[in-house]
Homo-oligomer: A and B are copies of this chain.
Amino acid sequence: MAASYILLLSALLALAASPAMAGDPSALQDLCVADNTSDVFVNGLACKDPKLVKAEDFFFSGLDKPRNTTNKVGSNVTLVNVNRIPGLNTLGISMARVDFAPYGLNPPHTHPRATEILTVLEGSLYGLIHFQFNHGTRNAVALAALSSQNPGAITIASAVFGSKPPISDDVLAKAFQVDEMTVHRIQAQF
């Protein structure tokens, strides 16, 4: 079974260079595990009292489960950032599992605080211009690594057409060079 798995591991390593290229500030101590209950807000996250740190602060399980991809775009991103693994605080790295249905799309997006390297575990993807598309007839799965504890994500279509508060119709009509009717129709999807 291990063998079968390895045959399925994709022959493709796609580097999805997100256009934003920041680096998190360096750590100043060995451990600064995020304290999710703190009422102190700082750049990043306040740390737990070091005496209260536990081994579980560094683990996350359950990434082996396939995600539900029955949605409009046919993909599902499971982000494992500092909110999921408190021990990632100040370490400048995080990851994600991305599931794709056949013809599923992880739509065009940017990560404002991270670069990314993507490993295709199963299936094959068409990518590189900041989106990934499963052009095959089977499911695809990829693992992404991102150079920030909290990379962020701006999915362009929903950020623009699903913004809250909404960007006014005339602005979007001018930006995308369409009539306001089309803008309305697109906005209704987000």
Contacts and interface: CB of A to CB of B under 8 A. Distances in A.
Given A21-B113, A117-B145, A156-B160, A5 B177 contact: no
Contacts of A178: 182, 185-186, 189
A13 B85 CA distance: 10
Interface string A132-150: 0100001101010111111
B93 A117 contact: yes
A115 B20 CA distance: 11
Copies in the complex: 6
Interface residues of A, number: 116
A41 B30 contact: no
Contacts of A119: 63, 95, 143
B23 A26 contact: yes
B21 A129 contact: no
Contacts of A108: 160, 167, 175
A43 B15 contact: no
A9 interface: yes
B7 A27 contact: no
A47 B41 contact: yes
Interface string A75-99: 0000010000101111111110000
Given A4-B4, A112-B20, A178-B185, A143 B143 contact: yes
A143 to B, nearest CB: 6
Contacts of A157: 175-177
